[in-house]
Amino acid sequence: MHTLPFAPDAPWLAPLAGYSDLSFRMLCRAHGAACAVTEMVSVKGLVYGGHGTTRLLATAEADTPLVVQLFGAEPSIFERAMPQLLERGFTHFDLNAGCSVRKVNKSGSGSALMARPEQLLKIVEVMLRAAGPGRVGVKMRLGFQPGEENFIELGQRLAELGAGWLTLHPRTAKQLFGGAARWGSITELVRAVPIPVIASGDLFTAEAAARCLNETGCAGVMFARGALTDPLIFQRLRDLLAGRESAPRTAESLAQTTGLHIRLARELDGTPRALRALRSFLPRYAKGFSGIRALRQALITCESWEELEATAGRIAELCGSSSPLSLADHVHFSSRAILPDADCAPPEGPADPPE
Ligand SMILES: Cc1cc2nc3c(=O)[nH]c(=O)nc-3n(C[C@H](O)[C@H](O)[C@H](O)COP(=O)(O)O)c2cc1C
């Protein structure tokens, strides 16, 4: 059984609703992700057989170490969901106390739990009782709203309960993704708790992650939007910390990454839904390349896996063999483009239309 990696050169893939599915997790693992978290899974959906839960929990032997992220508001529902998950062989779990999407918060889940710390603690108690000490983490924000930053007290109480790690996205829930992530708060949490703290927030490049590790003393980092633009970001951080030169970002490497993602999605999922998702997913990898518009156009018309593969085969030609692009030149793309329609897309919503 795997224990989870907590180290500067062991970057995690963050939970990303609508994105961190099995094929994307495998793509990131192939490029150096040391651990991955599933999209958030509704415990209600699990218990009542909700639409889409099976897909969200799809995994494979090589998809390890894996953390299943759960969201919900009622300890009694977690009590019923946990045995199901353990029976399926999942070993490590994360409680979502950070998602600030209205639909999720309205049900009392996600970051709304930060405003009800006793409820949050009860849920974690239930999860720990089922999974065992150290097998449960919590992904938090600073607090629900400005003036209510309770992450330190909550973090300490969670550590006392037996939580194995904490992840901090240092903004309040009300802030959504506005302003800069306050890495200084990560430093405070690291000093206040005896368990590993994983940093999340504005880690768009390997250089930013290295700076965050250095400034905060966190145990490790978690890439979210940065990985959606450049799945090689994990290896880049490992290279940077080891003092190695990283592979340049060229049209050829773009073609390889895209081709691998298509192969994985076809093999591991293969549904029309997965194909449609890829058509909008893939152009993100080409941020900053000259032919991105032509690529997007070509992808939109792909109706079959064969067409998608053929288009991927033309990427080097579509995007030109421009000189290597540094992602640092394109941080502004990755920091914005992904949010408006997709942030924490509720897993039971229209993200999963009938095939
Ligand atoms: C599209 C999208 C989906 C997300 N889904 C989840 C989720 O399911 N669970 C969660 O805890 N956080 C979720 N997050 C938050 C990220 O895991 C991460 O904490 C946040 O994006 C900050 O990191 P970044 O600035 O490096 O992107 C999501 C963020 C984005 C952009």
Report the nearest atom of ligand 1 relative to the CA of 203: 26
Q: CA 280, CA 116: separation in Å to the nearest integer?
A: 37
What pLDDT sits at residue 346?
A: 36
Q: Using a 6 Å cutoff on CB, does residue 40 contact ligand 1?
A: yes
CA of 323 to the centre of ligand 1 (A): 31
Q: Is the pLDDT at 96 greater than 90, yes or no? A: yes
Interval 128-149 mean pLDDT:
97
Q: What is the arithmetic mean of pLDDT over 153-162?
A: 98
User: In angstroms, rounded to a whole number, what is the distance separating the alpha carbons of residues 259 and 312?
Assistant: 6
pLDDT reading at 329 higher than 70: no
Q: Which helix (H) or strand (E) holds 46?
A: helix 43-47
Domain made up of 12-242: CATH architecture: Alpha-Beta Barrel (3.20)
DSSP string, 299-344: HHT--SHHHHHHHHHTHHHHTTTPPPB-GGGGHHHHHHTTHHHHTT
Note the pTM of the prediction, 2 decimals: 0.92
Q: What percent of the chain has pLDDT over 70?
A: 89
Does 17 contact ligand 1 (Cβ within 6 A)? Answer: yes
Answer yes or no: is the C-beta of 59 below 6 A from any ligand 1 atom. Answer: no
Does 242 have pLDDT greater than 50? yes
* Ligand 1 centroid from CA 14, angstroms: 7
Catalytic residue among 35, 99, 302, 344: 99
Ligand 1 centroid to residue 53 C-alpha, Å: 19
Going by C-alpha positions, the residue among 350, 346, 286, 342 that lies closest to residue 318 is 286
pLDDT of residue 52: 86
| Ligand 1 centroid from CA 324, angstroms | 28
Residue 338 near ligand 1, beta carbon < 6 Å: yes
Expressed in angstroms and rounded, the spacing between residue 314 Cα and the centre of ligand 1 is 31
Distance CA 118, CA 124 (A): 10
Nearest C-alpha to atom 28 of ligand 1 is from which residue?
16
Helix (H, G, I), strand (E, B) or coil at 19: coil
Question: Which DSSP helix (H) or strand (E) runs through 69?
Answer: strand 66-71
251 CB near ligand 1 (under 6 Å):
no
Looking at residue 197, its pLDDT comes to 98
pLDDT digits (tens, 9 = 90+) for 172-199: 999 999 999 999 999 999 999 999 999 9
Write out pLDDT tens, residues 14-37: 999 999 999 999 999 999 999 999
99 is catalytic: yes
Q: Which residue has the tokens 């299943």?
A: 68
Q: How far apart are CA 250 and CA 68, in angstroms?
A: 34
Nearest CA to ligand 1 atom 6: 16
**Domain map (residue ranges) of the chain:** 12-242, 251-325
